Amino acid sequence: MTEFIILIIKLVLIIAVAVGMVPFLIFFERKFAGFFQSRMGPTYAGPWGSLQSFGDMAKLMSKEDLVPAAADGPVFRIAPYILFVPAFVSMTLIPFGPMDVDIFGYNVDLVVSSFDAGVIMFLALGSLAVYGPVLGGWASNNNWALLGALRSGAQMVSYEISMGLAVVGVIVMANTLNFVDIVDAQAGGFWNWFFIPQLVGFVIFFVASIAELNRDPFNLAEAEQELVAGYMTEYSGMRWGIFMFGEYVNMVVMSAVISTIFLGGWRAPFEFLDVIPGFIWLVSKMLFFIFLYMWIRWTLPRYRYNQLMDIGWKIFLPLAIANLAVTALIISVV
Amino acid sequence: MVNPTVDLLIQFGLMAFIGAAVAFALITMSHMMSPTSKNPNKAISYECGVLPCAEARVPYNVHFYLVAVLFVLFDLEAVFLYPWAVAYRTLGVVGLVEMFIFIGILLVGYFYAWKKGVLDWE
């Protein structure tokens, strides 16, 4: 029974972190967007515009939820959940600290599920999230939405392959698919983190994750100038808000996964810094990647669709396979 | 708790349930707060202001279908590589050679698809 209560507490805490970060991420994204483009960003709501996201939330809440007559009602209503829920489930795989910690006299693992096939589970949930945009766009019965859905579907599955193959190098080095053990394999200072020996895999994984998240420079799915809003064209009110929310939660999850696989997860860069709790290290690494996503989004122009597919299929896929082969060779020699 | 598999199902299931509940609560709250006014014009599909003249579900470029087929192939390749990668140190040189043969066969198919123009988008 205690275990069950501890599990519920952990789940609620993780959801609070993932959901609680989103309004601040949206606010800082808009603020940074302003700074990168020599503007001020939001300034009116609250001091320094800091209440902007909450204002947006209230506005979204009070908007009518429209379902077009031509749309496929049930699928249209359920599509945002399909994007939203897998993100949370991937969050259960991420370790926030060491196992078997003593907190208030209870023995707690600082991870929800130490799953032996964690990496596969994460990639499978990523594939599941593709259904959200595709079903939403198809059910809308709208030209823009259908085109956006097709584009995002093809883009997400293409980059999923490079992503999956880029991780194999790390798995060969760590000998495990469990995120907890991957972090343990990177113990003892930043020179043991996998982003140094697996630099190619790290870069491929990071760029592929931008494409998975449908963000600039790969946001072909909702290219405003040509497709209105892509698969979200027919959505309004809070149902649109769930799509948007889901994308930011996905960003949090993706940055957590990259930090865990390549940057040592909750481990400190130097051993004498271990006094600072692992949770803080993980969140600061996540914030670093989130800042990088924002920086890239507001700096680079969008790619054309054929360029996007060329990068995914003709450059990243062979590169990921070559990286895997070289890693395997080096490990068998050493 | 009971056994590892049941534990995992409880953990993932609870998380999925709470995530769906958060989304459901947000949408229900917005239904309570938002005004509703029935107007048939609101339910027309968006088409830049003109009335949509045809069904949107038209035949689309076959390239998307080909990408989906290739995805299944290469994603399965990746899934086959994971157990190999975990057991790599115990398999030794035999595992290395076998995997090179496996990747080699797939690369033949990959270059065939490339030369056939499946990967070219114009």
Is it true that the peptide bond before A217 is cis, omega within 30 degrees of 0?
yes
> Across residues A173-179, what is the average pLDDT?
86
Pairwise pLDDT comparison (B25 vs A229), residue with the higher score = B25
B104 touching A (Cβ < 8 Å): no
Q: Are A170 and A182 in contact (CB under 8 A)?
A: yes
Do A146 and B35 count as a contact with CB atoms less than 8 A apart? no
Average pLDDT over residues A183-196: 82
Distance CA B45, CA A163 (A): 36
Q: Which H or E run contains A101?
A: strand A101-103
pLDDT 10s digits, A92-125: 888 887 777 777 777 777 777 778 888 888 888 8
Nearest chain A alpha carbon to B96: A328
Averaged pLDDT score across all residues of chain A: 83
Would you state the pLDDT for residue A35?
Answer: 86
For residue A38, give how far its alpha carbon lies from the nearest alpha carbon of chain B (Å): 32
Is the pLDDT at A298 greater than 80? The verdict is yes
Residue B61, min C-alpha distance to chain A (Å): 10
The sign one gets for the Cα dihedral A198, A200, A205, A206 is: positive
Reported as a pLDDT band with limits 50, 70 and 90, residue A302 is confident
Contact A161 B71 (CB under 8 A): yes
The pLDDT tens digits for A245-261 are 888 888 888 998 999 88
pLDDT of residue A223: 66
Q: Which residues in chain B have Cβ-Cβ distances shorter than 8 Å to A113?
A: 7-8, 11-12
Which residues, listed in sequence order, are joined to residue A103 by a DSSP beta bridge? A106
Q: Which tokens go with A240?
A: 């649109």
Residue B115 to chain A, least CA–CA distance (Å): 12
Q: From the CA of A277, how many Å to the nearest CA of chain B? A: 24
What CATH architecture applies to the domain B57-122?
Up-down Bundle (1.20)
Q: Where is average pLDDT lowest: A103-117, A192-206, A276-290, B4-18?
A: A103-117
C-beta separation of B36 from A64 below 8 A: yes
A242/B26 Cβ within 8 A: yes
- pLDDT of A224 over the 70 cut: no
Q: Which of A171, A245, A317 is facing B86, going by the closest CB pair?
A: A171
- B45 vs A contacts (CB less than 8 Å): 68-71, 140-142, 234
Which amino acid type is present at position A112?
A: V
> Under an 8 A CB cutoff, do B121 and A150 touch?
no
Residues B5, A273: Cα–Cα separation, whole Å: 36
Q: What value does the mean pLDDT take over residues A130-134?
A: 86
pLDDT(B119) > 70: yes
The C-alpha atoms of residue B71 and residue B69 are separated, in whole angstroms, by 5
Residue numbers in B near A317 (CB within 8 A): 74, 110
Residue B43 confidence (pLDDT): 74
A331/B7 Cβ within 8 A: no
- Report chain A residues whose CB lies below 8 A from the CB of B56: 70, 140-143, 145-146
* pLDDT value at A291 more than 60: yes
Alpha-carbon span B93 to A329, nearest angstrom: 9
Reference B70, options A159, A216, A133; nearest CA is: A159
Are A88 and B36 a contacting pair at CB < 8 A? no
The domain limits of chain B are: 1-36, 57-122
Sort residue A229 into left (φ over 0), alpha (ψ -120 to 50) or beta: alpha
Is some CB atom of chain A closer than 8 A to the CB atom of B26? yes
| pLDDT tier at B2, thresholds 50, 70, 90 | low
Question: Where is B93: in which H helix or E strand?
Answer: helix B88-115
A21 in Cβ contact with A284 (< 8 Å):
no
Residue ranges making up the domain that contains A150: 2-333
CB distance A53 to A26 below 8 Å = yes
Statement: residue B1 has pLDDT above 60: no
pLDDT single digits (tens) B46-91:
777 777 777 777 777 788 888 888 888 888 888 888 888 888 888 8
Q: Mean of the pLDDT values across residues A303-321? A: 86
Nearest to A164 by CA among B109, B87, B100, B82: B82
How many whole angstroms separate alpha carbon A134 and alpha carbon A231?
7
Name beta bridge partners: A101: A108
B114 inside 8 A of chain A by CB: yes
Q: Share the mean pLDDT of chain B.
A: 81
Spell out the alpha helix ranges (H) of B34-61.
none
> Which residue of A lies nearest to B44 if distances are taken between CA atoms?
A68
Contacts of A273 (CB under 8 A, 6+ apart): none
Angle between helix A278-299 and helix A199-212 axes, rounded to 10 deg:
70
Q: Output A3 or B104, whichever has higher pLDDT.
A: B104
Q: Where are the alpha helices (DSSP H) in chain A?
A: 2-36, 52-61, 73-91, 118-129, 131-140, 143-174, 179-184, 199-212, 224-227, 237-262, 278-299, 305-310, 317-333
What chain B residue is nearest to A14 in terms of C-alpha separation? Answer: B15
Distance CA A261, CA A185 (A): 10
Please list, residue by residue across B24-54, b when 16 or more beta carbons sit within 10 angstroms of its beta carbon and e when fewer do: eebbeebeeebeeeeeeeeeebbbeeeebee
* Sequence-ordered alpha helix ranges (H) in chain B: 4-33, 62-86, 88-115
Kindly report the nearest CA distance between residue A15 and chain B, in angstroms. Answer: 8
Q: Which of A69, A88, A161 sits opposite B19 (nearest CB)?
A: A88
Q: Measured between CB atoms, does B115 come within 8 Å of chain A? A: no
Q: Report the distance separating Cα A257 and Cα A255, nearest Å.
A: 5
Tokens of A309: 């597919």
Instruction: Return the ∠ at Cα A52 (arms to A48 and A56), rounded to 5°.
Output: 175
Question: Using CA atoms, how far apart are residues A226 and A228, in angstroms rounded to an integer?
Answer: 6
Disruptive mutation site among B71, B80, B105, B110 for chain A (greatest number of A CBs within 10 Å):
B71
Q: Stretch A127-136: mean pLDDT, rounded?
A: 86
Q: Please judge whether B74 and A161 are an interchain contact, meaning their C-beta atoms are less than 8 angstroms apart.
A: yes
